[in-house]
Structure 1
Amino acid sequence: MPRAPFQILVVPFRRSGDQFEFAVLRREDMNVWQAVAGGGEDTETPAQAAQREAGEELGLNRPAPLYPLQTTASVPARFFADRTHWPAGTYVIPEHSFAVDLTGVDAVISHEHTALQWLGYDAALDVLRFDSNRTALGELHERLLAADLPEPVK
Structure 2
Amino acid sequence: MPRAPFQVLVVPFRRVGDQVEFAVLRREDMNVWQGVAGGGEVGESPEQAAAREASEELGLDGPVPLYPLQTTASIPARFFAERDSWPLGTYVVPEHSFATDLTDVEIKISREHTDIQWMDYQAAHEVLRFDSNRTALSELHERLLTADLPRPVD
Class of the TM-score when normalised by the shorter of the 2 chains? over 0.9
Check if 1:18 corresponds to 2:18.
Answer: yes
- 2:144 aligned counterpart, secondary structure: helix
Identity %: 77
- 1:4 aligned counterpart, secondary structure: strand
Which whole-Å deviations, capped at 9, do the CAs of 1:37-88 have from their partners, x for residues lacking one? 0011111000000000000000000111000000000000011111111110
TM-score of the superposition, structure 1-length normalised? 0.99
Aligned residue number for residue 137 of structure 1: 137
Which whole-Å deviations, capped at 9, do the CAs of 1:92-126 have from their partners, x for residues lacking one? 01000000100000111000000000000000000
1:2 deviates by: 1.5
Aligned residue number for residue 152 of structure 1: 152
1:17 deviates by: 1.2
Aligned 1:2-151 pairs, distance under 5 A: 2-151=2-151
CA RMSD of aligned residues (A): 0.5
Task: List alignment gaps of at least 5 residues for structure 1.
Answer: none
Letter in 2 for 1:38: G
Query: Structure 2 CA distance, aligned partners of 1:55 and 1:49?
Result: 10
Letter in 1 for 2:84: T
Number of residue equivalences: 154
TM-score of the superposition, structure 2-length normalised? 0.99
Deviating above 6 A after TM superposition, structure 1's stretches of 4 or more consecutive aligned residues are: none
1:91 deviates by: 0.5
Query: Structure 1 CA distance, aligned partners of 2:96 and 2:3?
Result: 15
